[in-house]
Amino acid sequence: MTMPPETLNIDMQNGMFRAEVLRAGQGAPLVYLHGAAGHKGWAPFLDRLAEQFTVYAPYIPGYSNSTGLEYLEDVLDLTLYHLELMDALGLESAHLAGHFLGGMIAAEMAALSPGYVDRLVLVAPAGLWRDDAPVADFLAMNSAELQECLWAGGSGGSDATAEDIAAAERAMELLSPERVQDLTAAGKFLWPIPDRGLKRRAYRIKAPSLVLWGQEDRLVPPVYADDFARLIPGSRVEVFPNAGHLVMLEQSDTLAGTIAEFLKG
């Protein structure tokens, strides 16, 4: 059984930034970057990945105890911050996985500094925009509307385990009024639309890449999966039926197994 994650607190740039990072497991390093809404920190699917990899799960600045958001002006700053965090963790390269906002950051890292990324997994990433299939404006939603938008069928997926459901309940803390700063942090890089030019840089991604999506994702329509696949050379797509935006909580075993198999490949 995997031990509970330890918490690392990393100071960077003479204390300008303080990164809170959760770490567990053993094996090749895997950095997981969380999304903007509905899940952050640790969850059962990371326990499963930590059985085969050393998993690092940092909180993005503005979330939990990670500080320095005010010093990051744009997505380039955010990308460089995470590359520097890898340096601070002693990671010359690692597998990289990210969900939504974290997926956008992971893709930008792989495009900007390809040598840092061994294999890349993007789970419903942000970063592109289609007028015919807009990404939902989660910043304009109240808690009930956002919760309805995050899940397949508006509620927890039928394949979710008791552990996953408990993790989902903890994740819903994000939606409470006092946690609005988390969504505001994400909005700095995603509002008014999440297109920050990734489509012009994605050709630079050299890492073998896997794009994963929930078929019932109502926050980021799954049509974007094919857009990412076209932009990232040699990437492949897998879509999970009966899953929404929070596929890592709705189908954690399936997702973790898919990711592990790809990273071992």
Residue 27 lies in a domain: yes
| Cis? peptide before 192, omega within 30° of 0 | yes
Interstrand relation of 94-99 and 117-123 (parallel, antiparallel or unpaired)? parallel
Residue 171 lies in a domain: yes
Residue 201 lies in a domain: yes
Spatial contact of 262 and 236, defined as CB atoms under 8 Å apart: no
Q: Look at the chain and report how many structural domains it folds into.
A: 1
Separation of alpha carbons 165 and 45, rounded Å: 12
Q: Which two tokens stand for residue 136?
A: 């939902």
Query: In CATH, what number is assigned to the domain containing residue 254?
Result: 3.40.50.1820
Residue 115 lies in a domain: yes
Domain that holds residue 126: 6-264
Residue 213 lies in a domain: yes
Residue with tokens 């010093």: 71
CA 77 and chain centroid, separation: 17
Nearest alpha-carbon partner for 40 in 62, 72, 67: 62
Residue 162 lies in a domain: yes
pLDDT of 178 > 60? The answer is: no
Spatial contact of 123 and 103, defined as CB atoms under 8 Å apart: yes
Percent of residues, the chain, with pLDDT higher than 70: 88
Q: pLDDT, tens digit, for every residue of 53-101?
A: 999 999 999 999 999 999 999 999 999 999 999 999 999 999 999 999 9
pTM here is 0.92
Nearest alpha-carbon partner for 182 in 33, 23, 35: 35
Q: pLDDT, tens digit, for every residue of 238-264?
A: 999 999 999 999 999 999 999 999 999
Residue 227 lies in a domain: yes
Residue 1 lies in a domain: no
